[in-house]
Amino acid sequence: MITRRRLLQSVGPAAALALPFFELISPQRVRAADGVAQRVIVMYFPDGVAGPSQDGEPSLWHPTGSEFDFVLPEQLAPLEARRDDCVFFRGLTLGPTDSGSHPGGAKKLLTATDGGNGVSIDHVLANGVGADAPWRHLYLGVAANADGASGDKLISYASAGQSITPQDDPRTAFELLFGRPGDVGEPQVDPVAVSVIDGVLDDMDRLRTRLGNVEQSKLDLHLQALREVELRIKGGGAAGVADCSAPSLSADVPAAELYSPARFPEVMKAQIDLMVLAMACGLSRVGVLQASHHTSDLLMSQFPATEMYDPGYDMRSHQASHYGPAHDPAKKEFVAYVQQVRWFVAQFAALLEALRAVPELDGTMLDHSIVLLCTEVCDGNTHLHDDMPFVLAGRAGGRVTTGRLATHEGVRHGGLLAAIGQAMGAELPSFGDAGTAAIALG
List Cβ neighbours of 243 (8 Å cut-off, separation of 6 or more): 235, 237
Alpha-carbon distances of 31 from 2, 26, 37, 52, 204, rounded to whole Å: 16, 9, 12, 45, 23
Whether the CB-CB separation of 50 and 325 falls below 8 Å is answered with no
Confidence of residue 175 (pLDDT cuts 50, 70, 90): confident
124-145 residue pLDDT tens: 999 999 999 888 999 999 999 9
Say what the pTM is.
Answer: 0.80
d(CA 153, CA 172): 22
> Mean pLDDT of all residues in the chain?
82
- pLDDT value for 241: 27
Among the listed residues 371, 387, 377, the one whose alpha carbon sits nearest the alpha carbon of residue 49: 377
pLDDT (tens digit, 9 = 90+) per residue, 74-100?
Answer: 999 999 999 999 999 999 999 999 999
Q: Indicate if the pLDDT at residue 26 is higher than 60.
A: no
- Three-class secondary structure of residue 159 per DSSP: strand
Burial 140-153 (b: 16+ CB within 10 A, else e): bbbbbbbeebeebb
**DSSP per position, 272-314:** HHHHHHHHHTTS-SEEEEEES-SS---BGGG-TTSTT--TT--
pLDDT for residue 159 is more than 90 = yes
Torsion sign (Cα): 253, 259, 264, 270: positive
Cα–Cα distances in Å, from 403 out to 64, 82, 400? Answer: 13, 9, 10
Angle ∠(196,197,198) on CA atoms, nearest 5: 100
Query: To 5 degrees, how large is the angle CA 14–CA 17–CA 23?
Result: 115
Q: Is the pLDDT of residue 372 over 90?
A: yes
Q: Determine whether 198 is exposed, middle or buried from the number of CB atoms within 10 Å of its CB (0-12, 13-18, 19+).
A: exposed
Directed axis angle between helix 201-208 and helix 213-233, to 10°? 160
**Interior angle at CA 318, CA 315 and CA 322, nearest 5:** 90
How far apart CA 238 and CA 63 sit, in angstroms, is: 40
Q: Quick one: DSSP state of residue 81?
A: G
Predicted confidence (pLDDT) at residue 211 exceeds the cutoff of 90: no
pLDDT at 70 over 90: yes
The domains of the chain, with CATH numbers, are 1-32+190-257 (no CATH), 36-168+261-437 (3.40.720.10)
CA distances from 47 to 95, 100, 250, 432 (A): 18, 12, 31, 23
Can you tell me the distance from the alpha carbon of 393 to that of 84, in angstroms, rounded to the nearest whole number? 9
Q: 240 versus 66: which is more confidently predicted?
A: 66
E-only strand ranges, 120-277: 138-142, 157-159, 162-163
176 falls in which pLDDT band (50, 70, 90)?
confident
Average pLDDT over residues 223-246: 41
Number of other residues whose CB lies within 10 A of the CB of residue 115: 16
pLDDT score of 245 more than 50: no
* Higher per-residue pLDDT: 248 or 225: 225
Collapsing DSSP to helix, strand or coil, 101 comes out as coil
